[in-house]
Amino acid sequence: MPTMTVSGHQYDLDSRSVEAALQGALPEPIQEHFVVINGRRWPPKQVLALVTGLDRADFTTHQARRALTRLGFTAARAASPRERHRAGSPAAAPPRPAVSSTAERSESSVEALRPFIGLWVAVRGDEVLVAAPSAKEVVAWLAQHRQRAQSMFRVLDSEQAINGAAPQ
Amino acid sequence: MRFAFRALPAAGGGTLTPRPVIDIALEGLPDAPMECLLDTGALRTRMSAELAPLAGIELSGALTEEFYIGGLKTAGVLARVGLTVTDGTDEFSWDAPVWFCDPWPHPFGWAGLEGFLHYFLVTIRAYDGYLDIEPQP
């Protein structure tokens, strides 16, 4: 297990211990940087604070990001709202779509939702803001972080759940 | 207002056919509009009963009806609530009957005749994968 120093303290960490430390927690809103853990996007500072118990003021985003990438997690930078708009993924208003753009957007939305099968999600455009076992937890998260979703629903865990409502 | 059909991942892999849905916000729950399947064959507009307390909607003592859905017996409780739909640019609010159901096996609500279709001119363009709704006076 690799040893790393964060804010003057030494920790023995590996990817499994990080994943375990996140059990039961929900990712906070992504400001700019994120790491991918268990198929979800997490703010690096939130992860390192949960793993080490340190105060977030004790380290920077870049230190957190570097520590987590050393453990094998993917890190990236979220597109700014302007960049997302340019990329054709509007937050709330679907553009007057052509057939191909609708199909492309559907595909990216589906892939964003796939890790959350069986969970309630709140989405904005193609971005999954939060996923949780109940609608109550999703609503609480939105209120806590002052986020507004475009839509909330449960990602199907069984195709019967949809076929009963709308026969194919 | 235009709403793109929404596709969902299939639990067994692949993708389910994109469906016509509208995101409808309950009064008291403006930050979490509920995805509702547009169901032109449904008389009622229905949502899961677990949403009612989150929106502060009181259901005790209200009119209740039992019915079967997909072979499952469930009970719906009627409440007249404020609803809002927006596409991010335009917004429309109306007051409508919604049946809050328990149990509710579906991952979304249903937008039916009462509660939704009575209030809008709806144009479904399934080939292009979207629907347009226009509030009616």
| Interface A-B: count of C-beta contacts within 8 A | 139
Q: Does A106 touch chain B (CB under 8 A)?
A: yes
Residues of A in contact with B30 (CB under 8 A): 148
The predicted structure's pLDDT at residue A2: 75
8 Å CB contact between A129 and A143 = no
Please tell me the distance in Å from A85's CA to the nearest CA on chain B.
13
The predicted structure's pLDDT at residue A160: 61
How high does pLDDT run on average in chain B? 91
Please list the rounded mean pLDDT of every run of 10 residues in chain A (168 residues).
Answer: 83 89 89 85 92 91 89 78 44 46 66 88 90 92 91 82 51
8 Å CB contact between A45 and A65 = no
Please tell me the distance in Å from B39's CA to the nearest CA on chain A.
8
The predicted structure's pLDDT at residue B7: 86
Nearest-CA neighbor of A130 among A42, A18, A16, A31? A42
Pairwise CB contact (< 8 Å): B70 & A163:
yes
8 Å CB contact between A18 and A94 = no
To 10 degrees, the CA torsion angle through A82, A40, A117, B117? -20
The predicted structure's pLDDT at residue A93: 45
Q: What is the mean pLDDT of residues B5-28?
A: 87
Position B33, amino acid: P
Pairwise CB contact (< 8 Å): B107 & A147:
no
The model carries a pTM of 0.75
8 Å CB contact between B10 and B17 = no
> How far is it, in rounded angstroms, from Cα A36 to Cα A94?
27
Q: Which H or E element spans position A105? A: helix A99-113
- Helix axis angle for A61-70 and A44-52, nearest 10°, is 70
8 Å CB contact between B26 and A152 = no
8 Å CB contact between B59 and B100 = yes
Centroid of chain to Cα A159:
24
Q: Is the pLDDT of residue B62 over 80?
A: yes
pLDDT tens profile B68-124? 887 788 999 999 999 999 988 889 999 999 999 999 888 899 999 999 999 999 999
Nearest to A93 among B15, B48, B87 (CB): B87
